[in-house]
Chains A and B, each alone.
Chain A
Amino acid sequence: MSEIADLQDQPWLDPDAVPFIRMQGLTKNFGDFTAVSSVDLDIYKGELFCLLGGSGCGKSTLLRMLAGFETPSSGSIHIDGMEMSEVPPYERPVNMMFQSYALFPHMDVGKNVAYGLKMDGVDKEEIRLRVGEMLALVELSEFSRRKPHQLSGGQRQRVALARALVKRPKVLLLDEPLGALDKRLREQTQFELMNIQEKLGVTFIVVTHDQEEAMTLSTRIAVMDAGKFVQIGTPTEIYEYPQSRMVADFIGSANMFEGRVAENGADHIIVRSKSDGADFYVDHGLSITQNSKVWVALRPEKIKISKSIPTQPGTNQLKGVVQDLGYFGSLSTYRIKLASGKIVSVTVPNQVRPRHGRHAVDWEDEVYLSWDAASPVVLTK
């Protein structure tokens, strides 16, 4: 891929790119409680940006400030170059898809979708055309005369999406868009949402607490905790290169080992964990002081499990006993107890069918764990 195309796909890497939405020092206090604490964020045109965090982390408050339902205590929001703090919600170039969908129960699907255009004084013929277009896009053309209570959860979700998109907003805000759907429907809808976003090129900002949803949907994720961003990056960056234990733990799961920097080379580091009796050889350098306290995060799926002793003894291996086995069909999760008493999770794809009801690695087996030198992530906080 050429560098130019790269910058088009990832405008946040381009220092000359103009952000579409810019938040600066954005703060919101509710009495003594600070929901959002001096946040800076640039979002670029056409992004599908996820605000990810647990409940009460401030992600919804941030979204509500963008929509205009909450006034910032301090700081500014610019959308497409326009300062937003004095603009009431009904004049902002953004639309929101509510978590509860907030469909008008006294209007049928067609009227719900037409509402925003009607408020803008668009003429009747154009309203009819655009509503028809939008209902076709979300595959609800035959349901135009139904009332919201006559629809299923998934259909209601699509009406809410159509209603928010029909005004062709510059930014679409989605509050837990898939939260009310069951698992199967959620997966299907995820891809529909991405397709629609790609087709229309509208900038999406999604609030979610579901890390899987954030991973599959977004171009970039901002992980939020206690009103602040902990890390902002692409799904791959967030997952593979978490910058803190909080992120490593919140996105997916991670085995965490505490140790000290034993060797600090230009192209490698060795972290020695005395408590767990292991040396971690990491194949990249880090600006870090010798002997400082660090944590090593190791993803469960990056660990190999074997019953025979690895040929090369030394770093990047551990020995333990299978304490638990969770069989999920496509993969199995092992919980391995080390001599130190620490439990390590390992995820293994089930490539071979268990024979005679026995798994290749089974309960009480003594096993060796090993991993690639590129896999461990060294964390300082």
Chain B
Amino acid sequence: MSQGQPIGIMDRIKAHPVSHLIVRDGLPRLEHYLQSRWKTVVVAIPFIWLLIFFLAPFFIILKISVAESLIASPPFSPLFDWASDGAMNIRVVFDNYSYLWEDELYLQTYISSVKISSISTLLCLLLGYPIAYAIVRSSHTTKHILLMMVILPFWTSFLLRVYAWMGLLADQGTINNFLIWLGVIDQPIRLLYSHFAVYVGIVYTYVPFMILPLYANMEKLDMTLHEAAADLGAKPFKTFLTVTLPLTLPGIIAGSLLVFIPATGEFVIPDLLGGGNVLMIGRVLFGEFHSNHDWPVASAVAIALLLVLVIPMMLYQRVQAKQAEEA
């Protein structure tokens, strides 16, 4: 019996044959019953939560995505209706999906979204990795201050922070004014409503999601491994490639997915900072839903987005499962 693990009833019986007698008295049996029940309850809570707030909405959206658009309330055809003879009709229409495929706009938007969020993820990684490493290597007190600074932006409204960026990047904004004052430029340069602004917004917003899992991963890293590598003849960069990088890979993957997944479906940043110049699926979805009032197409867009994201999500789960297995 290894230490630190919860002692199960069977282990106790094996360790102390005397307690076997008590089992007949029913007391440990009751304890066992309560234990197994308690486990069920604990596991059930997140299951019920996911069922109500994730699975049910998903099926509702899925249902709408195979309906027809109507000018009615709600603005789509029902899935079931009753024929006059009492038979039940199920109407499933895949037109919305084929429409997504046929209209080049949607495909381009998906590709553009994935491209923007991939590049943003890479930028977050390039920025976040050294930051996380520096935090891990800093002294105990500075470590807490630095971590606080990473988390601090979350204390203010996300929308407010994006508006602040609009103020910074606008033609008459802080950055342009400052550059003109310096004499570097004499005409304002276009910063807002460009891909550049969207990248700035996404990287700024999501870099903590990269730093925190990387930090958690690096914190566990045994620094004597670096000394061991150096001792065995590895130059600093070789040590990084052969020891640091492979051992922080789980953190890199976790951080990348935490940035990539929400960034792909991002709406506020491309809408406010990218304007009409940046194609992202969040904006298209918003447009279908609100401007076009076409709920079925909007739902199909959402479901298709989910399919795009399911692959990296499954990847993430596999990495997590593998990590749990090794721990």
Contacts and interface: CB of A to CB of B under 8 A. Distances in A.
Check if A and B associate: yes
Contacts of B225: 102, 104
A75 interface: no
B243 interface: yes
Contacts of B246: 106
Contacts of B247: 105-106
B227 A163 contact: no
Nearest to B238: A119
Contacts of A96: 227-228, 231
Interface in A242-291: none
B233 A119 contact: yes
A127 to B, nearest CB: 13
B232 interface: yes
B250 to A, nearest CB: 10
A44 to B, nearest CB: 23
Interface stretch (A87-95, A313-321, A337-345): A87-95
A115 B231 contact: no
B233 A104 contact: no
Contact of B243 (A104, A149, A163): A104
Contacts of B150: none
A116 interface: yes
A241 interface: no
Contacts of A69: 227, 230
A90 B224 contact: no
A104 B228 contact: yes
Interface in A145-162: 149
B140 interface: no
A90 B243 contact: no
A67 interface: yes
Contacts of B326: 149
Contacts of B243: 104
A119 B224 contact: no
Given A100-B222, A104-B243, A106-B246, A120 B233 contact: yes
B228 A98 contact: yes
A167 interface: yes
A88 B226 CA distance: 13
Interface in B232-268: 232-235, 238, 242-243, 246-247
Contacts of A167: 232-233
Given A90-B235, A119-B238, A102 B230 contact: no
Contacts, number: 59
Contacts of B232: 90, 95, 115-116, 119, 163-164, 167
A115 B224 contact: no
A232 B180 CA distance: 73
B274 to A, nearest CB: 40
Interface string B83-98: 0000000000000000
B229 interface: yes
A206 to B, nearest CB: 16
A48 to B, nearest CB: 20
A116 B233 contact: yes
Contacts of A88: 230
Contacts of A105: 247
Interface in A43-98: 67-69, 88-91, 94-96, 98
Contacts of B235: 90
B252 to A, nearest CB: 14
Interface in B106-148: none
Contacts of A95: 231-232
B246 to A, nearest CB: 5
Nearest to A166: B232
B227 A89 contact: yes
Interface in B177-235: 222, 224-225, 227-235
Question: Which residue, B227, B228, B229, B230, has most C-beta atoms of chain A within 10 A?
Answer: B228
Contacts of B222: 100, 102
Contacts of B229: 104, 115, 119
Contacts of B224: 98, 100, 102
A106 B232 CA distance: 16
In this complex, which of B229, B231, B247 has the most chain A Cβ atoms within 10 angstroms of its Cβ? B231
A95 B243 CA distance: 18
A67 B233 contact: no
Contacts of A163: 232
A94 B232 CA distance: 9
B219 to A, nearest CB: 15
A90 B231 contact: yes
Contacts of B234: 90, 115, 119
B92 to A, nearest CB: 49
Nearest to B231: A96
B127 to A, nearest CB: 25
Contacts of A94: 231
A302 B308 CA distance: 83
Contacts of A149: 326
A66 B160 CA distance: 56
Contacts of B231: 67-68, 89-90, 94-96, 164
Interface of B: 222, 224-225, 227-235, 238, 242-243, 246-247, 326
6 contacts: A69-B230, A90-B230, A98-B224, A119-B229, A164-B231, A167-B232
Nearest 4 Cβ contacts at the A-B interface: A116-B232, A102-B228, A119-B233, A89-B230
